[in-house]
Structure 1
Amino acid sequence: MQLPPAYYLPDGPGAFVATALTIGPWDPGLQHAGPPAALLAREVERTGGIDGGQPVRLAFDVLGPVPVGPVRVAARVLRPGRRIELVEATLEAGGRPVVRLTAWRMRVRDSAATAHPPQRLAVGPEDGRPAQFDVFSEEVAYHRSLEWREAGGSITATGPAAAWTRPLCGLVEGEPITPLEHLLVMTDAASGISAALDWSQATFANVDLVVALFRQPAGEWLAMDAVTTLGPGGLGQCAADLYDADGRIGRSVASLFVEPR
């Protein structure tokens, strides 16, 4: 199967065209939120003024559906600083903002002497079970962009689940995908791998995503250990612990709007 080389093709300064690898599970004309999140993080990292700084909290708000097609990104520093800064990035489609990111970045220093021992996922990528999503209507879509290995539960059944992923394409054509970009492409799928409801009976799209990191991700394999909890009023929440091969690196949480199909 011939796949596009990346989620996005460059189309001028700040402009990109989404490929089929961005297609999400709810509508073949709309993007999965993972690639837009990674594209915004790329813009934040290019805009931030702290050389070698690390993002410690990335808060995404999904303002509307993101169509598969042309998009534009822009970023600005809201709160500059030598040690701590706040950067905002916005993704537009059709002339309107559809995803917004605010990211705190901090200067990194050596604190290995006081760091806690790493917490590792019980099942590593080499021992994970090969898996694949079965809920996408298109043959080439988001699920084809990552190699999936189950580390707990099942991503094709309901309930908590853990999975390792490895990227099979770039974020932007002509550039290698970074571990941070890979992490954000993957993490928005936490509510998908830990679905609490049957995909054919309900939708449970997230309206936000917050990723908090105490260490930068590293390496080609990253993992999420996710659980979705449903409330009594048509709302849900997905929380996940995030890992690389060296151990846990942070957590994510997303708010879900749940309704029957």
Structure 2
Amino acid sequence: MTSVNASKNPTSYYRDLGDGRWESTRAAQGAWNDHEQHMAPVTGLLTRALLRHEPRPGLRLARIGCEILGLIPAGEFTITTTTLRPGRTIELVQAEMIANGRPVVRVTGWRLATTDSAAVAGLTVPPLPGPDEAKPYSMTEKWGGGFIESLTGRVLPDHAPGRGRVWLTTDLSLVEGEEPTALEHLVGMADAANGVATRVHPAGGWVFPNVDLQLHLFREPAGRWLGLDVSVDFGPDGVGVTSTVLHDEDGPFGRSLQILTLREVPGADQPTP
């Protein structure tokens, strides 16, 4: 039987039970269903697992690819890690979350060798105005669940259905009693991008969960605030994409993509986005 740490005021998203066993707290609760975990903190925890699996000096995570294999139940689960493709300058590692006897999320990470490329470094997008230049913003106006409630947000002007720019942070730790790395902390909020600038209201006639999360990181992030410059596109045949430029307070550090499955809910009224 799966147990759930249901404390009303958790200080972390997860508790380490030892021997590869973990337990989610209410803060990890998903936005679509009360009995599932949100993919955002799951991403942070599995990134933590990748970082701690046979670490290699001189290599860093440059791509984190998350495949959501089904509903992610709240409560207890295990994590296993392995090296899929060892290499001197390029390596592929994997972490898998297993709940109730089945894999529910599989994450792979490409580790690439770091070199000094400052002479050719360049960006195609400008940095977002910082969180101090933005207005207070709460995702709880559209979304429920413990994870969304745990976030502090700031929104930049011209927010609209399908297009938005926000900053997010949280005071909670990823793992109870542990200070997360900046990478763990920031990627642990990245999946929230799909809820930032929804084209339709999530309580209305359509649902649009993502079935993956792909993160491409061209530099190591820093700090506590995650900036999301989000665009959402819906196609005509039940598939959509959320595309995001990821920022910290020093500027852009990567991009994320989420493929969406669009499903109409018969008989539901559509609120204003």
**TM-score under structure 1 length normalisation:** 0.93
Alignment partner, residue 146 of structure 1:
151
Conserved? CA contact 2:53–2:82, under 8 Å: yes
Which residue in the other structure is 1:78 paired with? 84
What's the Cα RMSD here? 1.8
Alpha-carbon shift at residue 40 of structure 1 (Å): 0.8
% same residue: 37
- C-alpha contact (below 8 Å) 1:48/1:87 kept by paired residues: no
Query: Structure 1: which amino acid aligns with 2:230?
Result: A
**1:173 and 2:203 correspond:** no
Superposition pairs of residues 93-242 of structure 1, within 5 angstroms: 93-116=99-122, 119-133=125-139, 134-138=141-145, 141-154=146-159, 158-201=161-204, 202-242=206-246
Preserved contact between residue 152 and residue 163 of structure 1 (Cα < 8 Å): no
Structure 1 residues 248 and 196: CA distance shift in structure 2, 3 A: same
C-alpha contact (below 8 Å) 1:120/1:243 kept by paired residues: no
Q: Which runs of 4+ in 1 moved over 6 A?
A: none
Measure how far apart 1:179 and its partner are: 1.6
Q: After superposition, what is the alpha-carbon deviation per residue over 1:196-236, rounded to whole angstroms, capped at 9, x for unaligned?
A: 11111121100011000110111111211011100011111
Q: How many residues align?
A: 257
Shift of 1:110: 2.1
Unaligned runs of 5+ residues in structure 1 are: none
The answer (yes or no) to whether the contact 2:69–2:103 under 8 Å persists in 1 is yes
The one of 7, 15, 21 aligned to 1:9: 15
State the alpha-carbon separation in 1 of the partners of residues 73 and 33 from structure 2.
9
Q: Distance in 1 between matches of 2:106 and 2:69?
A: 7
User: 5+ unaligned residues in a row in structure 2: which ranges?
Assistant: 1-6, 266-273
AA aligned to 1:39 is L
Q: Report the more deviating stretch, 164-173 or 112-121.
A: 112-121
